[in-house]
């Protein structure tokens, strides 16, 4: 077992960061990950750091670091830009065996309590009262569809990504789209539509011709077997991955949706969905 022997909040100083960075590593400590260091440095440069939670353990007569490797390393590399006014929650433990070290390591940043992408999305959506009636799951995939569309179809290199994309909830021009998406997706019968590139296609058609998009995607969601463009698209989207002759990727899903939409708007009959990546992407018909 591990035992907490001391817990305190102390000012964050360069001396403390260096002390923690130079502590012997616990044998359970994860490898230093450059991507994690870069993330923490971006947070530091943006002034977004919060109180760190560092921990060390006394094992076999030696203090070893249990938590705080990446943050202390990043802080020691700041070269004169060390942040001010921050605190460290510093815990000290006593352990008896290496197994105890592993058990203690598991308690920090536990996967069961970490902030998921859904948690972050819900937090940003919760700031917008106009979207209170939109289920959090629908809001999340709706925003991610917009991001996919902007990055992959419009080729917007500066489009928000990762957790930052959920700032899009504040774009009032997206609210009608998200409310409409709630109507389409808030049913167990339309699970085949909940693929981000499909949501991206729904968004692209909605901003091109809102009234037509409302009609077309409602038809897709009804799952009729009447040979129309919407019905053929729905059947294609419902094919389980294990039954696909060639696995369908994100771009293929998007192109297939636009192929069916364009045929619908141009009143052309189709027999199957086409999505040849070797050709230029189709423009979205209005």
For 129-167, the pLDDT digits (tens) are 999 999 999 999 999 999 999 999 998 988 888 999 999
Position 233 confidence tier, pLDDT thresholds 50, 70, 90: very high
pLDDT exceeds cutoff 90 at 170: yes
H and E: helices and strands count for the chain: 11, 4
Give the pLDDT of residue 187. 72
Q: What is the pTM of this model?
A: 0.79
Rg (CA), the chain: 25
Residues of the chain with CATH 3.90.1530: 2-113
Tell me: pLDDT of 58 over 90: yes
Average pLDDT on 49-69 reads 95
pLDDT at 242 > cutoff 90: no
Burial class (CB in 10 A: 0-12, 13-18, 19+), 263: buried
The whole-number pLDDT of residue 136 equals 94
Chosen CATH of 2-113 out of 3.90.1530, 1.10.20, 3.30.70, 2.60.40: 3.90.1530
d(CA 271, CA 153): 25
pLDDT of res. 128: 93
């Amino acid at each position: 077992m591990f035992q907490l022997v001391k817990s305190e909040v102390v000012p964050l100083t360069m001396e403390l960061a260096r002390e923690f960075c130079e502590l012997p590593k616990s044998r359970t400590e994860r490898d230093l990950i450059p991507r994690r260091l870069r993330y923490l440095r971006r947070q530091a440069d943006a002034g977004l750091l919060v109180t760190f939670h560092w921990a060390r353990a006394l094992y076999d007569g030696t203090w070893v670091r249990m938590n705080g490797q990446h943050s202390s390393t990043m802080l020691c590399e700041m070269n004169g830009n060390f942040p001010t006014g921050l605190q460290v929650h510093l815990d000290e433990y006593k352990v008896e065996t290496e197994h105890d070290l592993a058990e203690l390591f598991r308690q920090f940043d536990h996967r069961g309590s970490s902030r998921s992408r859904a948690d972050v999305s819900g937090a940003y959506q919760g700031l917008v009262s106009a979207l209170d009636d939109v289920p959090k799951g629908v809001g999340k995939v709706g925003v991610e569809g917009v991001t996919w569309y902007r990055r992959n179809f419009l080729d917007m290199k500066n489009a928000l990504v990762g957790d930052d994309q959920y700032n899009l909830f504040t774009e009032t021009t997206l609210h009608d789209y998200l409310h409409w998406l709630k109507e389409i997706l808030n049913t167990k019968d339309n699970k085949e539509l909940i693929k981000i590139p499909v949501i991206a296609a729904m968004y692209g058609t909605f901003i091109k011709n809102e009234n037509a998009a409302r009609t077309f995607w409602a038809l897709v969601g009804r799952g009729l077997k009447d040979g129309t463009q919407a019905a053929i698209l729905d059947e294609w989207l419902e094919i389980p991955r294990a039954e696909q002759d060639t696995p369908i990727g994100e771009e293929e899903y998007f192109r297939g949706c636009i192929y069916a939409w364009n045929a619908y708007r141009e009143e052309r009959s189709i027999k199957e969905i086409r999505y040849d990546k070797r050709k230029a992407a189709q423009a979205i018909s209005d």
